[in-house]
Amino acid sequence: MSVAVPILRTAEEVRTTVDEWRRSGRTIGFVPTMGALHEGHLSLISKAFDHADSVIVSIFVNPVQFCPDEDFESYPRTIRDDINKLEYAGADAVFIPEKDLVYPEGFSTSVHVSNLTDTLCGKQRPGHFDGVATVCAILFGIVQPDIAVFGRKDAQQLAVIKRMILDLRFDIRIIGADIYRERDGLAMSSRNRYLRPAERMQATALYRGLSRAAELACKGERDTALLCQTARRIIEESPLAVIQYLEIVDQETMKPVESLDAPGLLAVAVHFGKTRLIDNIVIDPGANYKED
């Protein structure tokens, strides 16, 4: 039976709640989201409970991480349904701030993480990761958690947050959670609901392409150009797929690699109609291949 989750609207309410938890000896887990929650988000909450006694989830559609031609206005906002899901997941509290709380009048600070943001989504979405790093720094300052959980589906975001935590000396442990997939392999995303039936059917090509490349790598193929070509060919068999990028990069630096001498990250962004999907898989030469 689910229990009503407390809804916190102000920084003061968050701090009072977190202070009470700490006084009772509880560790604090944090899962920042933009709402439109799905099973993937709930898996992040479950992961947080593996590492903390109490978990707070934030819901805030962050305007500064959207580029001018992106879907900020139409991004799905499903607060009531989200709260029901959080109650089911057992979250201890949900923080739903207004924009003016996060970015008050006169706000003029931006957090920029260099180098990691020059490739993949950072190259295609200028300023996106500045917006992500800035809002996370603000939320971390308000919540002050012991641990925070981010999904590995956005591997570049995870790398950026880890770098920011290290550089700015936040006393927070960042935990990456595995990609949560539909039965047909499509990575769960709030934007999947944008897909039309034909687009949704063809979107399964992303994981098929990534998986085939990973399988070849496990058999010993190290040529990243060939591995990318293999994944690209499978994805492009879907006529609605328009690949924005498909690259193999170093997992730490997010820089392209030419030869797979160590485990790498095969990352892809593809448009199906107006919907942009991202996905990735770790490819390890010589490892035993197993679908995740």
Which residues form the catalytic set?
A: 41
How many Å apart are CA 201 and CA 238, to the nearest integer? 9
How many Å apart are CA 181 and CA 189, to the nearest integer? 9
Are 33 and 57 in contact, with CB atoms under 8 Å apart?
yes
101-80-24 Cα angle (round to 5): 65
CA dihedral sign, ordered 136, 280, 176, 7: positive
Which among 52, 232, 86, 251 is positioned nearest to 152, based on CA atoms?
251
How many Å apart are CA 226 and CA 244, to the nearest integer? 18
Are 79 and 35 in contact, with CB atoms under 8 Å apart?
yes
Q: Report how far apart, in Å, the C-alpha atoms of 282 and of each of 35, 85, 176, 215 are.
A: 27, 30, 13, 11
Looking up tokens 């349904």, which residue turns up?
A: 81
What is the chain's length?
292
Spell out a b/e string for 4-43, using b for 16 or more CB atoms within 10 Å of the CB, else e: ebeebeebebbeebbeebeeeeeebbbbbbbbbbbebbbb
